[in-house]
Structure 1
Amino acid sequence: MSFEGKRLVVVGGGSGIGRRIAADARDAGAEVIVAGRNPARVTDSGVRAAFADLSEESSVKALAEAVGEVDYLVTLASAPANGPVTTLDRDAVTRAFDAKVIGPLLLAKHFAPRFREGGAMVLFSGVAAWRPAPERTVMATTNGAVAFLAQALAVELAPIRVNAISPGIVDSGAWDRLGEAKDELFVRTAEANPARRVGRPEDVSAATLQLLSNPFTTGSVYHVDGGGRLA
């Protein structure tokens, strides 16, 4: 896939998956802007860093104005609010929706007039929407909302294409905080998944770039979960 001459904005690009998407798009010829609340985390050469806080509309508007015209936009921002429903903090729940649902809506609002012909957005959902689990109610709900948001935006913003990626368990660095329990989780996941392994950032990046570049795919959810939602 060639991205020569294309401008891509990756919001929440500080994650392992986000960094891989940015790097792969850059290597394919794109001009890449990685935006987030901590631009200092962006150290890759050939990638621009910018500030964006999806909980503040003024920040999203400023990002759009700074970027100007754009071909592609990917948003991976998340703010998990996990825990028993009986102990959930309302502010944490609001932050989760800001990152996954309200923030992408604001991105669509302020970037829609700036997309060039053939433009596309990719939102990030997640396997939790299809396999809800105890203490993951907010995660399941926000990820589920993303799937419907992609469909709705695909209709309203047409011919701008809007799709969603739903990753499963991916060895992106996010699970390193579990220590030795990470290995146990990955073994269980691999045993249950039809793919018989956990995901890698390059798996998700390849799917993302494909959705961005495919001119006849919109309003879809691309499951990159090794079949985890079926297990």
Structure 2
Amino acid sequence: MTGPLRDETVLVIGRGGGIARAIVIAARDAGARVVAAGRDQQALADVYAAEPGITTEAVDLTDEAAIAALGKRLGSVDHAVSTASARARGRLADLDPDADAVRLSFDTKVIGPLLLAKHLAPRISETGSFTLFSGVAAAKIAVGTLAVAITNGAADILARSLALELAPVRVNAISPGVIDTGAWDALGKQGKADYFADISARNPARRIGTADDIAHAVLFAMTSTFLTGATLHIDGGEPLT
């Protein structure tokens, strides 16, 4: 297979749908050998069973031993992408009962990728990259998203710090805005439609983002060899509103 990632190995950590799946397919179509990893390896194996060029692995980003074991099984890798997240929404007064959720959010999106970098850095080629995920909540502060905002802000700083320490391996972050994935299904069909309509009417792009929008940004981050320490804001200009 030809493409900008031809003969390279790309690790994508996340679920079997939405943004993670779009990245897996885009990387494979760009010529890479792709390893999709997550807590439920069997679920991932079922999702990608009919997709050539994609293998699956198990990893829990809240378990350093599991991360270290994954690194040993992989041997070497050219690019690593961590899309994993655990949401912790709510106002300040509501966060005490959900303290575990706040910690899980931070452990999954900040500490986990930090440990992933620790164990994969010696295995990533000097021309390779590491891509983390932040989010629009860090750029557009709103009541009710405090825990999400501080987690995403920490992910931005982590990407910049790792870019310096792991050089010449490139490290960048992707900051998605509102993306049409199953993450919003909890609002209900009408609630989701109303929310999307409101965001589309206000953001400069005048639409909701897609998983493919994010996958294209990740491919750019992986293949742009003079890009490091940056956060790519793929958010339709939402922070401007």
How big is the shift at 1:116? 1.3
1:54 maps to 61
Partner of 1:82: 89
Name 1:215's counterpart in structure 2.
Answer: 225
Matched, 1:196 2:198: no
Question: C-alpha separation between the residues in 1 aligned to 2:87 and 2:181?
Answer: 16
For the 8 Å contact 1:120–1:162, the answer to whether it is kept is yes
Count of residue correspondences: 231
Once the two structures are TM-superposed, the CA of residue 163 in structure 1 deviates from its matched residue by: 0.3
Q: Secondary structure at the match of 1:175?
A: helix
> Where does residue 123 of structure 1 map in the other structure?
132
SS for the counterpart of 1:74 is: strand
Q: Report whether the alignment pairs 1:154 with 2:163.
A: yes
Among candidates 171, 176, 179, match of residue 180 of structure 2: 171
Q: CA RMSD in A?
A: 1.1
Percent of aligned positions with the same letter in both sequences? Answer: 47
Ranges in structure 1 where 5+ consecutive residues have no aligned partner: none
Q: 25, 28, 41: which one pairs with 1:26? A: 28
- Secondary structure (helix, strand or coil) at the match of 1:116 reads strand
Aligned mate of 1:114, from 102, 123, 134: 123
Q: Which moved more, 1:120-129 or 1:168-177?
A: 168-177
Query: 1:189-230: CA deviations, max 9, x gaps?
Result: 111110000101111100100010100000000000000111
Moved more, 188-197 or 35-44: 35-44
In the superposition, the TM-score normalised over structure 1's length comes to: 0.97
TM-score, structure 2 as length reference? 0.93
Give, in whole Å, the separation in 2 of the partners of 1:184 and 1:77: 27
1:26-65 alpha-carbon deviations (Å, 9 max, x no partner): 1111111111111223222222111111111001101111
One-letter amino acid of the counterpart of residue 132, structure 1: I
